Chain A
Amino acid sequence: MHKKIKMLVVDDEEIVCNYIEQRFKKKGLNVFFALSGEEALDVFEREDPDIIILDIMMKGINGIETLKRIKEKRDVPYVIIVSAIDNKEQIEYLKTLGVSCYLTKPILLKELDSRVMSFVDEIKQLEDN
């Protein structure tokens, strides 16, 4: 048996967090959410999630800064950025931080699902090996 996969959702809109939480709970994930970068760092420390879904534009420390600080603690390879900004430079910069998945709002729900689920498969495979 695999352990339940943990996912952290960071978005300053609670309605987004609630929706993603509900959605992936149904798919068998253990979902936590944080409404700010600061809160995300706390939850990260406490729950040690496998996957992170991260918004960029947030009050206080933004998504990029949050990611940098998370990466200082531990390298999380499974990060999905969901942002309204469709900026090439920013996407390139996030690549240097090791982010491979960047979804622009409004997103295709199917795309988010398939990205998360492929990460889940990958994590499970790694565990098996």
Chain B
Amino acid sequence: MRPAKSKIRKRAPKRRPARGSSKGSLSFSEYKRSLELATEGMVEILDIEKLIRLIVYMIVKKVKLVHAGILLYDETKKFYVLSTSRGRKGSVIPREYIRIEADDVLIKFFKSRKNYSINKSGVIRLDDLNNLLKRKEIGSKEKNFKLSIIKIRDEMINYDVDALVPGYFQKDNLLGVLFLGRKANRNKFHQDELDFFMALARTAVMAIRNAQLYKNIQKIFFGVIQAMALSIEKFDPDFIRPHMDRMFKMAARLVEKLDKRGVVLPDMPRELFLSSIFLHDIGKQYTPKEILYKEGRLTDEDWVILKKHPVDGAEIFEQIDGLQEVAAIIRYHQERYDGTGYPEGLKGDKIPVGARIASVLDTFDAMTNARPYRKIPFTIKDAVKELIKAKSTQLDPNLVDAFIEVLLEEGILLDVELKEICSDSSIERLFNNLVYR
């Protein structure tokens, strides 16, 4: 029995050095692996906040730091903000709480790439600064350099950080700086580690830039779509901006509700989907004003011309790659659920859901506001009554029900009013799907 016991005892201490790391810190191969894992997919995260949270989390956890943070350039405000931080209570610098000016000595030092003369990796390590200041020869030759070093050292002590890792894009554009607090085990940062941090910073910069560009493009894109939707105001007498704001809110609530119920919505950003619902009448810019503003009944010839607007509008967006779904909403918003609409006479679920939603909202809006052909609008109660009557003929019955729920939740329609509508025997049979009774 004895020899067996001693075997176990002997084996145990052998395993520790085999892991290859000195106490608490990772070996270089482990670092490389961590880096690969961390950077995998980083460039695909398009949400900036989420991305930088992930980077900081990864560093604090893997390297076991007391705290870490990311200082990021704010292009509109023209200064650097500590946007994310993580670590021990009391040590961690609150996020969005402190800023560093763009002309701060630290930023200027990094921008002029003097950091590479302190450590070949580019990382500024507190130890390196202290060692440098101990050497006499700097003082006499480069007074300004020494002064900068002293200031940066003081700043590092002030922020309680042991290392600063710059993130550059292009040549001397400093996107941000990684703030690294000391290690929990008080060990120093190795040269190997510094190279790892620089590599991580390079990938992080790429990912952050990517996310920023994506965000900017998306912003411009939504801006263009919204501007187009609002341009309808210029030619369509039915389009009244305050109504649109209200309808937009209701549409957002309706879409949210449908999403929760598992209704399949087009694969596009929600904002874009909502905006395109309001683009449906953009083709009316080609409809003569005499028809749009006509007070009496439209003639058959008038109708032929008016009915062109869904196709005219859709054709604008069909030109743009990736906006086919938007075009479809516009093209089919005048289709009817029973298949008697135009331009193609699509029926039921064949009509895109966005077009069906646009149809419900537009019908409601048309009834509750004055129009050239009807000076006195319907009351909310009467309009809802008409919506219910239009279930399965003109409108998608499920969407009508969901929309009525939104009206109730928003306090636009009262419960009492709905009860009164329900008591009307002529429409009672149409209530099959309605949740509220």
Contacts and interface: CB of A to CB of B under 8 A. Distances in A.
A109 B158 contact: yes
Interface string A64-83: 00000000000000000000
A18 interface: yes
A19 B90 contact: yes
Contacts, number: 40
Contacts of A21: 90
Nearest to A11: B94
Contacts of A85: none
Interface residues of A, number: 14
Contacts of A105: 96-97
A1 interface: no
B94 A19 contact: yes
Contacts of B96: 105-106
A113 B129 CA distance: 23
Interface string B77-99: 00101100000011111111111
B325 to A, nearest CB: 39
A22 interface: yes
Interface residue range, chain B: 10 to 19
A106 B97 contact: yes
B90 A16 contact: no
A124 B383 CA distance: 74
A3 to B, nearest CB: 24
Contacts of B428: none
Contacts of B145: none
Interface string A38-75: 00000000000000000000000000000000000000
B84 to A, nearest CB: 12
A126 interface: no
B99 A108 contact: yes
Contacts of B89: 15, 18
B92 A107 contact: no
A13 B94 contact: yes
A86 B98 CA distance: 15
Contacts of B92: 15, 18-19
Contacts of B98: 106-109
Contacts of B91: 19, 22
B303 interface: no
B382 interface: no
B67 to A, nearest CB: 10
A88 interface: no
B293 interface: no
A74 B100 CA distance: 36
A108 to B, nearest CB: 6
Nearest to B85: A15
B295 interface: no
Given A16-B97, A19-B93, A22-B91, 6 more contacts: A15-B89, A105-B96, A106-B96, A108-B100, A109-B158, A113-B158
21 contacts: A13-B94, A19-B92, A19-B93, A19-B94, A105-B96, A106-B79, A106-B81, A106-B82, A106-B96, A106-B97, A106-B98, A106-B99, A107-B98, A107-B99, A108-B98, A108-B99, A109-B98, A109-B158, A109-B159, A110-B158, A113-B158
